[in-house]
Structure 1
């Protein structure tokens, strides 16, 4: 990882009625996140969702409430304990 990226871990994946999947990766302390949307079809045929990914620093958004920060930090810990960063999940 270069200095301009941060390793973030998968903390949330939600499905909507438009066939889109929202994937959220967060920093280990839960203070920042990166959100991506992909079609459920691309998840089956494209690159897999991995336990962690390198996110450019400029693409991270602040988590504005304490409850979400704590939940994200807890999910990062859980994911990091169960998976290697490149494991598809």
Structure 2
């Protein structure tokens, strides 16, 4: 991992936003079907067109260092495209709801 990648990961965790970063909101939290004790967090832009996925071991959800934030700032390189229109609409609805009801640093 390069220093830049490490800095980007740290910025994502801290929620700090650089000029190039994109705000995303938690839209989905599911358990993995194929692996035990894995939780998948999906964050999306308010228009639902882009998403960011994180996987976390269930055991890592303890303690303040592993809080789940309502919103994150991520590098455009860390975003995927949502091609399915139904998923895009669902992500947009949930991202807008989260943005209206929470500050990005809120724990959810």
| Residue of structure 1 equivalent to 2:20 | 4
Q: Where do 5+ consecutive residues of structure 1 fail to align?
A: none
Displacement, 1:83?
1.2
Instruction: Looking at secondary structure, tell me which structure has more helix per residue.
Output: 2
Q: Find the residue that maps to 1:54 and give its secondary structure.
A: strand
Q: Find the residue that maps to 1:85 and give its secondary structure.
A: coil
> If you compute each CA radius of gyration, which structure gives the higher value, 1 or 2?
2
Structure 1 residue ranges (4+ consecutive) displaced by more than 2 angstroms after TM superposition: none
TM-score, length-normalised on structure 2?
0.78
Q: CA RMSD in A?
A: 1.1
Give the aligned length: 89
Displacement, 1:78?
1.2
Instruction: Looking at secondary structure, tell me which structure has more strand per residue.
Output: 1
TM-score, length-normalised on structure 1?
0.93
In the TM superposition, 1:1-89 aligns within 5 A as 1-16=17-32, 18-45=36-63, 46-89=65-108
